[in-house]
Structure 1
Amino acid sequence: MAVSQFDQFLYDATICDPDGESTLGPDRLYGLYISWCAVTNTRPRRERSFWAAMRRRVDPAHNGLRMQGPAAADYLLSSYPNLV
């Protein structure tokens, strides 16, 4: 069975917070997805498709996820250019 783009994104770019206290809000989660697409040279799906897929996988508002990997670095550098 093929892994969906959205499952691969969650696997590559997120990690569960062991305490469950951290959560990626909707804007950050979608922004991380866009960064993941850029890093992996993957064509992003429409935002509506992204949220439909996420609702089947995680709670977009209280997901207990943290960023990880190259997409996290890309997202942070894109969001906060003064860090460079």
Structure 2
Amino acid sequence: MDASHFTAFLEEATVREFDTDCPLSADCLYGLYVSWCSLKGLRAEADFTFRAAMHRRDIDVHDSRLRMTGPAAADYILATYPAAA
């Protein structure tokens, strides 16, 4: 997968939030990525590949300091918590 694919995901679906007390967990970050890919019509890479790509971008998936944003965030929330719909 093109490296810019992961960069586009970070730019379009996340916001850095250094002071957050509730950053995205590793599983939530990957789930958000899957939702983003689905909305873009792209095939999501495996979790291992995703984590390696985040590591190359200096994103610690266990303490990401990222929050979700945009259409992928809404898709992820509705898919994860259907009662919210």
Identity across matched positions, percent: 46
Matched letter for residue 28 of structure 2: R
Structure 1 segments unaligned to the other structure (5+ residues): none
Match of 1:82 in 2: 83
CA distance in 2, matches of 1:18, 1:47: 24
Residue 66 of structure 1 aligns to a residue whose secondary structure is strand
User: Aligned to 1:4, what secondary structure does the other structure show?
Assistant: helix
TM-score of the superposed pair, with normalisation by structure 2: 0.89
Distance 2:30 2:14 in 1: 12
Matched, 1:15 2:41: no
Q: Aligned-pair RMSD on alpha carbons?
A: 1.5
1:47-81 CA deviation, whole Å, 9 max, x = no partner?
A: 21111101112011111100000000000000000
Counterparts of 2:32 and 2:12, CA distance in 1: 11
Aligned residues: 83
**Structure 2, unaligned stretches of length 5 or more?**
none
- TM-score normalized by the length of structure 1: 0.90
For residues 44-59 of structure 1, the aligned pairs below 5 Å read 44-57=44-57, 58-59=59-60
SS at match of 2:15: strand
Q: Corresponding residue for 1:36?
A: 36
Which range moved further: 27-36 or 37-46?
Answer: 37-46
